[in-house]
Structures are given as structure tokens and as C-alpha cells.
Structure 1
Amino acid sequence: TIIYSLISSRIVPEVIRSNGGVPSRSRVGHSFIKAQMAETGAIFGGEHSGHFYFRDFWNADSGMLAALYAISALGHTSKSATFSSLISKFRKYVSSGEINSKVADTGAAMAKVEERFAHLGEIDRLDGLTISTSTWWLNVRPSNTEPLLRLNVEGDDDAIMCRIRDEALEVIRQ
């Protein structure tokens, strides 16, 4: 089992499955990922933010260990291969990155997003609100520490991502 934060790209579970692994989504945040790793016995956990957790390292986050694995993978390729060429095949989707909006009422703003988009796809409330379709997904979730609503959007291409991102921001910021 491999744990990944729910705002990671759709390529993550696709690659895990294609390599014989079992992907498991987690709420965003190291405490949630580490708890889920311990619960499931997962060998690895990763977050969109670049934190990587290893079972063999007591489920702890280690950038150093992640870098060593990346260097090892690069060492097993042709001498002319670059790191960017190694990861280019994983850049299949277009992401907005995390966009923060100050809102007076995060619950009301999330309800408006749900009202606007829910009929288009599947709803998931693992962490905030996620709506998924075959060509895009979006997640809105409140910050735990600030009066912010965090939006992440991913689409099959730039036009789809930009359209959904802009529509969602319009709803959130009105």
C-alpha cells in the first residue's frame, strides 16, 4: 500500500497501480498520512507538497532518503538521461496549484462550490469537498489555521483546468 494526499495528481494512483501497488488516499497533512501508514502497514506515503514518508524510516518524512532514491533511479537510466526526462512521462495532467482565498464563511463558500459543480461529477468529503469527473477534479478545503479556503484543480489539459479553476474562484470570491 502507498498512501498519497488527496490533492496529489491523478497520475499518482495510476502509476502506483501500474507498478502493482495499492494506492490509498489520505487527508492532507503529515499527521493523517503517518497515521494511515501505521494503520495499513503502507511502505510509503507522499504528499503533493514534497514530503515523503518511508516505513523503513519509522514512517518519518525524509527528504534525504527521497533524494537518494531519485539519484538511484537516475543512475539506472542511460548516461544521457536527465532527471527532467525521467519525470516528463508523469506530467500528464495540468494542475492549478493551491490557490488560497480569504472568505468570511468557509462553509458557505464550500456549499456554493458544491451547488455549482456537484451535478457534474462524483462527490467526496474525505478532506473538504472533492468533485471528480473523467476530465477534471477540484478540491476545496478550509485552512485549519487561517480564514482561508484552499482550492486545487486538475484537468486533462490547460483549457479544462483554467475553465474549472476560474469558475470555482468566481463562486468562492463572490
Structure 2
Amino acid sequence: MSEVQQAFEAVVTQIEHDPAFADIEVVTHSIGRRGAGLALTLTIDRVGGVDIGSCERVAAHVNDALESCPEPYSLEVESAGLERPLLRPGDYQRFAGKNARIVTTLAIGGAKTHRGTLRGVVGTNVELHTPSGTLPIPLAAIRSANLEYDPRADLAANKRERKRNG
């Protein structure tokens, strides 16, 4: 592992535990090759959404930490987005009530792709409310999962919020 890779891994761990970044969640990070240097990507999320200021703050911190590394690199700090991946059991709990798409490694209820509303985690299963009922999906059987953005539901929620606030 190169000096840049080691420093990047260390600064990512530091961001995950630093109170100064308590509002930032590191969703994923990766290291790849780009030309003669390394391509470092850090995907973040934040309650209320990621803005350019959040990305700039994290990028500045990472660049400061890697400043003394001689190897060339490029850094990209990006938002997890509206359809962010769900990677940890806590993600399914945090986003309970949101729409999601879950792809499994084996067929459950006759299908490998499931869409519905997250209900959270019960034991070792993610509970997904689908049109045909609540489907328990073993965490170990999940190949990939992400939130699904529904603009109509978002519009309806915003309308209800405006009505409530007068």
C-alpha cells in the first residue's frame, strides 16, 4: 500500500470519529488508478443533505492530511445522492419509512429484486413493506440496496408540510 493510500485510509477513519465532522457520514470510499496517479473518491452524506460547503470542508481536510505525500493523486468528494446506497444494518433503520430497492443473492418470494417501503431491521432481517405485504429479507442475502426517490411522494410531503406550517 502506497503512502497516499495509507494516509487516505487513516484520514477517512479520522473523519468517521472526529467530533468536528459529527454531521458527516462517510458512506463509501475507494482508491483507484487514474493516469500516473491515484484516484481517491469519498462519498458522504449528511442529515438535511450534502451541500457544496460540506464537500469543500471534507476535501480541504483530506488534502491537508495528504499534503506531504509525494505520489500524485486526484480527490473527489461527492454526495451519496437521493438514491444513496444502503450498506449497513443501521442504514435500514435510519431510513425506515423511505422507499427502497433491494436486490438479493437468492430468490425471495419468487424474485431477486424487491421494491417497497423500509420498515427497519428485525433480528437479522430487513423488513420491506411491499404491495403484497411485509417481506423479511435476510441481511446476509442482500447483494445491493438503495433508496428510491419518488418525486410524487416528495411533492406530497412538501405540500403537507406547507399546509401544516400555515
When the two structures are superposed, what TM-score results if normalisation uses the length of structure 2?
0.28
Structure with the higher strand share, 1 or 2: 2
Please give the TM-score of this superposition, normalised by the length of structure 1: 0.27
Which has the greater radius of gyration? 2
More helix by share: 1
